[in-house]
Structure 1
Amino acid sequence: MNTPATDLTYRDATPTDIDALVTLIESAYRGDTSRTGWTTEADLLDGQRTDPEGVREVIAKPDGRLLIVERAGTVVACCQLEHRGTHAYFGMFAVSPALQGEGLGKQIIAEAERQARESWGATEMHMTVISAREELIAWYERRGYRRTGRTTPFPYGDERFGVPRRTDLEFELLVKTLD
């Protein structure tokens, strides 16, 4: 599907996309490259954000999809959608750092919400965000998400999720009612 305003194309990821997706996700969240954008976690975490096996697992989930966003044939963003009963889960959201701040994120999350509503009849979208990411949480709140106060511990010791630079990391559940 093309979106005329930004000339974005959305499609489901396939195993041939794994390397490009890992590169995109890592560039948006980890290392010096991620500092080009505003979504970096480089001050909170070292190490990786994901790996080929993690992306492969998301693509293979029977009740989910990894949505690729392309502009002019180049992967510029992605997000995970997973059907979980009456709600959908939104995760693995990454926009190329060079394109952050151009409004792509707003359009992509709106499209993800639309697809969750129309494909699965989801009435809510859920996501988890590192609670120390106040600027990111504020961005989601401006999109209609609300903080629930429900948290889960960060998986310390599991380097597949990164190497924490702080001892107080946890994930907070954010929820939005889908109209």
Structure 2
Amino acid sequence: MHVDDVQGHETAAPGRLSFRTASSPDVPALVALIESAYRGDASRAGWTTEADLLGGQRTDPEGVLQVVEDPRSLLLVAERDGELVSCCQLEHRGEYAYFGMFAVRPALQGGGVGRQVLAAAEAEAVRRWGAREMRMTVISVREELIAWYERRGYALNGERSPFPYGDERFGLPQRDDLEFAVLTKPLD
């Protein structure tokens, strides 16, 4: 499976996911999807919510547009029957690809969409950039989410980075012990 160019669209059977690269007209819908998966009461319909850890925004139109327009990045969009159901960021960083901005519509979480999108992202990072490894950061207290990634072959590598306290673009922390853990996975 591969992602076509920005203008392209990979076809899929009804009910199956199709993948494409986001473009600037997608930004409002992508922001809404990401916010719905992580913030506020609507996010509680899924299991990826960060509503108890962070208030405020998860992202904004400027941040999403920056990823869409960055030549080292792409925002992978997953659609089912023409409806946006998931997205993720891939960024080329030399030997590895960074995976982030991952969101699945809350009502669809737990149904396999995330696994399919993650697998498509890994394949695209190898195809597009020859990436040998995927890396991501996850808030270290998100044990259930870390375990989900570990079941898909990712491992904590021991690296930690601070949470950007004071930068409201990343949310309003509800606790003072937040930091990011780095997970990695070799790509074949």
* Length-normalised TM-score, structure 2: 0.93
Please give the alpha-carbon distance, in whole angstroms, between the structure 1 residues aligned to 2:123 and 2:20.
Answer: 14
Deviations 1:89-127 (A, max 9, x none): 000000000100100111110010001011111000000
Q: Return 5+ residue gaps in structure 1 as ranges.
A: none
Please give the alpha-carbon distance, in whole angstroms, between the structure 2 residues aligned to 1:67 and 1:156.
Answer: 28
Please give the alpha-carbon distance, in whole angstroms, between the structure 1 residues aligned to 2:52 and 2:161.
Answer: 20
Please give the alpha-carbon distance, in whole angstroms, between the structure 1 residues aligned to 2:156 and 2:11.
Answer: 32
Please give the alpha-carbon distance, in whole angstroms, between the structure 2 residues aligned to 1:37 and 1:98.
Answer: 6
Q: Secondary structure at the match of 1:35?
A: helix
Deviations 1:62-110 (A, max 9, x none): 1110011111111100000011111000000000001001001111100
Please give the alpha-carbon distance, in whole angstroms, between the structure 1 residues aligned to 2:55 and 2:114.
Answer: 24
Letter in 2 for 1:103: G
1:26 aligns with 2:35: yes
Residues 31, 61 of structure 2: 8 Å contact kept: yes
Q: Return 5+ residue gaps in structure 2 as ranges.
A: 1-9
Deviations 1:130-161 (A, max 9, x none): 00100000000000000011111000000000
- The alpha-carbon distance between structure 1 residues 176 and 5, as it changes in their structure 2 partners (threshold 3 A), is farther
Please give the alpha-carbon distance, in whole angstroms, between the structure 1 residues aligned to 2:97 and 2:172.
Answer: 28
Residue 59 of structure 1 corresponds to 68
Please give the alpha-carbon distance, in whole angstroms, between the structure 1 residues aligned to 2:38 and 2:13.
Answer: 28
* Length-normalised TM-score, structure 1: 0.97
Q: How does 1:58-77 map to 2 (within 5 A)?
A: 58-77=67-86
- The alpha-carbon distance between structure 1 residues 156 and 164, as it changes in their structure 2 partners (threshold 3 A), is same
Residue 170 of structure 1 corresponds to 179
Q: CA deviation at 1:60?
A: 1.1
Residue 90 of structure 1 corresponds to 99
Aligned positions, number: 179
Query: Which of 128, 131, 151 is 1:142 aligned to?
Result: 151
Please give the alpha-carbon distance, in whole angstroms, between the structure 1 residues aligned to 2:63 and 2:154.
Answer: 26
Please give the alpha-carbon distance, in whole angstroms, between the structure 2 residues aligned to 1:98 and 1:32.
Answer: 13
Letter in 2 for 1:136: L
Please give the alpha-carbon distance, in whole angstroms, between the structure 2 residues aligned to 1:6 and 1:121.
Answer: 30
Residue 111 of structure 1 corresponds to 120
Q: CA deviation at 1:5?
A: 9.0
Letter in 1 for 2:164: P
Q: CA deviation at 1:2?
A: 3.9
